Amino acid sequence: MTMQARHLSIAYGSNQVLSQVSLTLHPSRTTGLVGRSGCGKSTLAKAMTGIIPAPQETLFHNDQIFFPDLSKTGNIIHYMWQDPLAALSPFLSALDLICEPLKAIHKLPKAERQRQARDLLNMVGLNATCSVKRPHQLSGGQCQRVALARALAVKPRFLVLDEPLSALDLVTQEQITSLLRKVRAEMNMGLLIISHDLQTLAKLADDIAVMDGGRIVEHKETHEFFAAPEHQLSRRFVEISKYSAPAAALN
Amino acid sequence: MAYVDSAKSIPLSRATQLLRGRTTFFLGGLFLCFFIVLAIGGEAFAPNPPNQIDLLHRLSAPNLTYPLGTDHLGRCILSRLMTGTALSLGTALTTAGLILAIALPVGLLSALCKGWVDAVLMRIADIFLAFPMLVFALAIIGYLGASLTSAVIGVALAWWPSLARLVRTLTLEAASKEYVLASRQCGQKPLSIIGRHILPQILPPLLVVLSLEMAGLLLVLSSLSFLGLGAQPPAAEWGAMLNEARPFFAERPSVVLAPGIVIILAVLSFNLVGEGIRFQLDKRRPYRW
């Protein structure tokens, strides 16, 4: 049960955004993806999830060629957008947004999907008052949590989170980090987390990949990455995040 | 200092805009309500039967029995204008509905299916657009035979391509929004995406365009009736009334002026309502303060 990108290259005209990128996601395992802005992290994630087209025979699911189709493969690999407000329909309440996948993918009856949607909202720390509100009536952090609850409602095998904690306060970040660990274990879900925050990745990721100029320049187990970063950019990241001793953070 | 000055000028311009937008909508709405009341109860409120011929009082000046005078057959002009409201506005509304019924599915299909479906549908629209719309409508009416139904069909067939192109453009923009992509990712079926996410985005601007188009449709349908290609005598349709009154303009100008003014007022009311809705919708955009 893996999801792989093999030698994935994407160019827009003369602009080579991804160049021979290979990355494997495993179930119950979290991969962190770091890199400078514009290095191709989101493009890689969007290509793997079918939001932007990827060249044929570059994506593999369980070693079979995988054709990501936004409408059909969202329950296999699911992308959670960086800007939650833009990714949530302004016409629907938080509860209705979470009910969408429960109805369309899991075909649950109305009462059951509403119960599950409320449970998911509770799980991400939102109360009943928030459930009837529309995205523009919620704060950035609340929208982020609604988006996460909806992604969890899909129950995908692999979940790609693009800067999932950026709009959250420290306490909520901690809650969501715990929640992600929990769902990864309980739902046997593979996670790909794109983040600039190495502290978060130190707590969550089993392995970390560093991207630079459309290539993965280093990919290591988290403790190895923090102990002995090889690439110049990785060393700089570790230095800046002051995580020369990751064991403390991991504990 | 210049910055402060320009900052001060913004509230004033905003207040002016608000006043203009609300006044426009209020005035247009008032006129439109008046016409709707006339369309519903025109026959009941009319002072005389609209088709009652009184040859002894043909082309008479306004008086107590005939408040706007009579036409060349001695029929009460006011009664005919009042009872003609339902027919005139109903025809324009039916035409607008028919145009929307053709343009909406064509535009949606074209934008969402893309590829050869988009190419074929848009080339068909281009072919229709290549003809002057009125000439094309006249050709269809000529083929179907002069009647109000033919006029409605002819105008709808000539007018749909421009609206279909607009629907396509609006749908392309709406479908590329992140929340629509996110909804597709959540397994929503195409019809559900259209109903829940795309139509709520494209209908408000479409309604504005349609309300503005209504004025144009009313004029075109009246023009066709004026040319004798739309409503046929003795139907009390405003354009047809103009057509019938044309030879008597010099003798009694009010026979032509009365339906002409009513058409102008109806066109104005649709324009004002359309402009008012456009203003209200613009106001909701987040980048407008």
**Dihedral sign of CA atoms B227, B230, B233, B238 in order:** negative
Percent of chain B surpassing pLDDT 90: 30
Within 8 A of A134 by CB-CB distance, chain B residues are: none
Q: Which pLDDT score, from 0 to 100, does residue B237 have? A: 85
Give the tens place of pLDDT for each residue, A44-95. 999 999 999 989 889 999 889 998 888 888 889 999 998 888 899 888 899 9
Q: Which pLDDT score, from 0 to 100, does residue A249 have? A: 47
Q: How far is B189 from chain A (nearest CA, A)?
A: 7
Give, in order, the Cα–Cα distances in Å from A189 to each of A27, A106, A148, A160, B201. 5, 17, 14, 10, 35
Q: Which pLDDT score, from 0 to 100, does residue B275 have? A: 79
Q: Which pLDDT score, from 0 to 100, does residue B12 have? A: 52
Percent of chain B surpassing pLDDT 70: 89
| Mean pLDDT taken over chain B | 84
The domain locations on chain A are 1-76+164-251, 86-155
- Per-residue confidence band for B209, with pLDDT thresholds at 50, 70 and 90: confident
Q: Which helix (H) or strand (E) holds B29?
A: helix B2-45
A172 and A141 in contact (C-beta within 8 Å)?
Answer: yes
Strand partners, A35: A211
Within 8 A of A79 by CB-CB distance, chain B residues are: 185
Q: Which helix (H) or strand (E) holds B18?
A: helix B2-45
Q: Which pLDDT score, from 0 to 100, does residue A74 have? A: 85
- Per-residue confidence band for B116, with pLDDT thresholds at 50, 70 and 90: very high
Q: Is residue B253's pLDDT more than 70?
A: yes
Q: Is residue B173's pLDDT more than 80?
A: yes
**B100 token code pair:** 């929307």
Q: Which pLDDT score, from 0 to 100, does residue B4 have? A: 44
Cβ of B191 under 8 Å from any chain A Cβ? Answer: no
- Per-residue confidence band for A246, with pLDDT thresholds at 50, 70 and 90: very low
Residue among A51, A78, A100 whose CB faces B183 most closely: A100
- Per-residue confidence band for B119, with pLDDT thresholds at 50, 70 and 90: very high
- Per-residue confidence band for A251, with pLDDT thresholds at 50, 70 and 90: very low
Cβ–Cβ gap A91/B197 under 8 Å: yes
Rounded CA-CA distance A151/A147 in Å is 6
Q: Which pLDDT score, from 0 to 100, does residue A59 have? A: 92
Q: DSSP for chain A?
A: --EEEEEEEEEETTEEEEEEEEEEE-TT-EEEEEE-TTSSHHHHHHHHHTSS---TTSEEETTEE----TTTSTTTEEEE-S-HHHHS-TTS-HHHHHHHHHHHTT---HHHHHHHHHHHHHHTT--HHHHTS-GGGS-HHHHHHHHHHHHHHH--SEEEEESTTTTS-HHHHHHHHHHHHHHHHHTT-EEEEE-S-HHHHHHH-SEEEEEETTEEEEEEEHHHHHH---SHHHHHHHHHHT-S-HHHHH-
Cβ of B114 under 8 Å from any chain A Cβ? Answer: no
Q: What single-letter amino acid sits at A81?
A: W
- Per-residue confidence band for B21, with pLDDT thresholds at 50, 70 and 90: low
Give the tens place of pLDDT for each residue, A116-142. 999 999 988 888 888 899 998 888 888
Topology of A1-76+164-251 in CATH?
Answer: Rossmann fold (3.40.50)
